[in-house]
Amino acid sequence: MLKGYLCVVLHGHLPYVRHPEHDDFLEEDWLYEAITETYIPLITMFERLERDGVRFRLTMSVTPTLASMLTDPLLQDRYLRHINRLIELSHKEIERTAWLPAFNKLARMYLSLFSEARDVFERYDRDLTRAFKRFQDSGNLEIITCGATHGYLPLMDVTAPSVRAQTKTAVAHYQKVFGRPPRGIWLPECGYQPGHDEILKECGLKYFFSDSHGILHGTPRPKYGVFAPVYCKTGVACFARDMESSKQVWSSVEGYPGDYLYREFYRDIGFDLEYDYIKPYIHPDGVRINTGVKYYRISGSTNQKEPYDPDAAREKAAEHAGNFMFNREKQAEYLYDALGRPPMIISPYDAELYGHWWFEGPQWLEFLIRKVTFDQKSLRMVTPSEYLAENPKNQVLTPSMSSWGWKGYSEVWLQGTNDWIYRHLHKASRVMTELVRQNPHVHGLKRRALNQALRELLLAQSSDWAFIMATGTHVSYAQRRTKEHLLSFFKLADGVRADGVSEPFLRDLESRDNIFPDIDYRVHQ
């Protein structure tokens, strides 16, 4: 008998990092690592489930920046170069570890993972959005959109046209990539500001997600806590995160990923091996970086590092999946009695957690899906659309402003290290609105300049830059990105106003910041 719904949401996002002006660019590795370690393992999991006739129901955001990078020919070529280097390295590693059987086994594991990654990549014609689309079209995956460049919307509240531009551009891009309009949206950083649901409604979006307190602190009180969605006054539904299931995966103390049988993220041969040997596989200027080849498992407080044992780790992942399911069954049973209706349990995670940090994460998820499908009857995995279709009657309330960042509001993106950016972002946003008003119908060079100006503004708005400034690594890169997009924006704006757009400058920007080729600047109003 049905006692509860489980809705697992993966938030797949990376900021737009693409530098044709450099042959090799450190921050582009974020994408390449995520492809090998997260997106491809998820795709092969979907393939296995489908092959075995498992009807899985997962919700996943593929942000417009991520989708744009996955469909970009330059980055596709570079990923191939990247994975080929890793394949070459793992061949060398198999040779080098000939006298260390435990490591040799791992070197072979990496060769097979990397080779499989390349095969999958080629199989989908180097465009992984096709893979995600395939599983959406087959009715298993529900792909949702996000802000166009993952701009944190509550800190754009004073410039509402930017909130609209972020949303409309995202929806149009989704339509182009996935061949249908999106039903839901992952608000960047789960950042909800009351009133923004009006813009979501305008864009045809039916639902979004918030953190727990989005609903819990909404007005009036939510009768079902976070265990049922609510409607905003606009009719857009809001689903809130369940903390209990979240912390089992996220928590640094109680979370599964810290288990001693799992792979250690921090020991990488890019740092561990002799310099001349590893040099061709680290950054070309000689700086040691992670290669993705990691041989150790997480160890306790002792210094003794044990080699990773994939079989033992897999067993553990299965056990953890069983534990997670057991806890959800108990939770659903309790809530079913308390609420008088089956609770909706929302478990959202950063997709890149799976595989990239938590190497065994995709295995865990696959075990979970299979177990929920075959081993019990009280839980059902659903997507938000499916839930709403079955349960259309829900309370109406105004969710509270909230985010899923540290402390639950905007402090991550608004603090001493990054608060200086908003003066400039808001100024640019007001200038953009003004330009749209003054130039409702323009063509040729001016139109191109206005479109590019909006691209630059959107790119400057990515919450990732403020986030990186706050966390303290890659800070100069984040500052540089913010500054350069804004400077480009202002230069274009000056050109438009003076009727003197420099075509070579514009052309260069178009080729470098080439995101959203079909953008329409008029969405910024």
Partner 1 sequence: MKREPRKKAKRSQPSKGRAVTRPRAVRRAVTRAAAKKAAVPAQIPLHDMKAEESKYYMGVSEPVYQKSFAQELQQGELPGRYDEDVLVLQIRDPWWAHSYWDVNQATLARLKQDVGPAWGGCRWILRAYDISFINFDGTNAHRFFDTEVDLDARNWYLNFGSPGTSWCADLGVLLADGRFITVVRSNTIMLPLDGPSWVTDEEWMIPDDDFRRLYGMSVGLGSRVSSPVGKLWQERLKRDVSSRGLASMGVSSPVKKAKGKAAFWLVADCELVVYGATEPDARVTIQGRPLTLRPDGTFTLRFALPDGKQVIPVEATSAKTGEKRSVTPTVTRRTTRQP
Residues between 104 and 123 that touch partner 1 (CB under 8 A): 108, 111-112, 115, 118, 122
Stretch 425-444 residues interacting with partner 1 (CB under 8 A): 426-427
Smaller CB separation from partner 1, 160 or 171? 160
**Is 419 considered catalytic here?**
no
Site membership for partner 1, residue 97 (CB under 8 A): yes
Q: How far is the CB of 68 from partner 1 (least distance, A)?
A: 17
User: Rounded to an integer, what distance in angstroms lies between the CA atom of residue 495 and that of residue 502?
Assistant: 7
DSSP percent split of the chain into helix, strand, coil, nearest 5: 55, 10, 35
CA distances from 24 to 3, 114, 293, 392, 480 (A): 52, 20, 20, 51, 18
Site for partner 1 in 254-293 (CB under 8 A): 255, 257-258, 262, 264-266, 274, 277, 280, 284-285, 290
> Among 437, 429, 421, 426, which residue's Cα sits nearest to residue 482?
421
Which range touches partner 1 (CB under 8 A), out of 131-139, 222-230, 319-327, 437-445? 222-230
If the CB atoms of residues 335 and 388 are measured against partner 1, the closer one turns out to be: 335
φ, ψ at 382 (rounded to 5°): -135, 165
Q: Taking the CB of residue 130, how many other CB atoms lie within 10 A of it?
A: 16
Measured in whole angstroms, how far is the alpha carbon of residue 387 from the centre of its chain? 23
| Contact positions with partner 1 (CB under 8 A) in 15-44 | 20-26, 30, 33
Q: Stretches 129-137, 212-220, 313-321, 436-444: which one binds partner 1 (CB under 8 A)?
A: 212-220
Catalytic residue among 350, 484, 510, 520: 350
Integer-rounded Cα radius of gyration of the chain: 23
Q: Which is nearer to partner 1, 154 or 184 (CB)?
A: 154
What residues form DSSP beta bridges with 186? Answer: 146
Q: Out of 189, 352, 360, 366, which one is annotated catalytic?
A: 189
**Is 350 annotated as catalytic?**
yes
> What's the min distance (Å) between Cβ of 25 and partner 1?
7
Which x/- pattern over 173-202 shows residues binding partner 1 (rule: CB under 8 A)?
A: ----------------x----x--------
- CB of 49 or CB of 190, closer to partner 1: 190
Q: Report the largest interatomic distance among the alpha carbons of the chain, rounded to a whole angstrom.
A: 72
* Residue 308 near partner 1 by CB under 8 A: no
Pick from 36, 331, 373, 383 the residue near partner 1 by CB under 8 A.
331
Tell me the three state secondary structure of residue 7: strand
The H or E element containing residue 230 is strand 230-231
> Whose CA is closest to 460, among 14, 15, 146?
15
CA distances from 365 to 8, 54, 227 (A): 9, 13, 22
CB crowding 41-78: b at 16 or more within 10 Å, else e = bbbbbbeebeeeebebbbbbbbbbbbbbbbbbeebbeb
Does 376 sit near partner 1 (CB under 8 A)? no
Q: What is the DSSP letter of 273?
A: S
| Smallest separation, CB 279 to partner 1 (Å) | 9
Q: How far apart are CA 299 and CA 262, in angstroms?
A: 9
Q: Does 250 bind partner 1 (CB under 8 A)?
A: yes
* The one among 103, 207, 336, 387 contacting partner 1 by CB under 8 A: 103
Of 127-135, 196-204, 381-389, 408-416, which part binds partner 1 (CB under 8 A)? 408-416
Q: How far is the CB of 332 from partner 1 (least distance, A)?
A: 11
Pick the piece of the chain touching partner 1 (CB under 8 A) from 138-146, 208-216, 320-328, 493-501.
Answer: 208-216
CB-wise, 18 or 133, nearer to partner 1?
A: 18
Among all residues, which ones are annotated catalytic? 189, 350
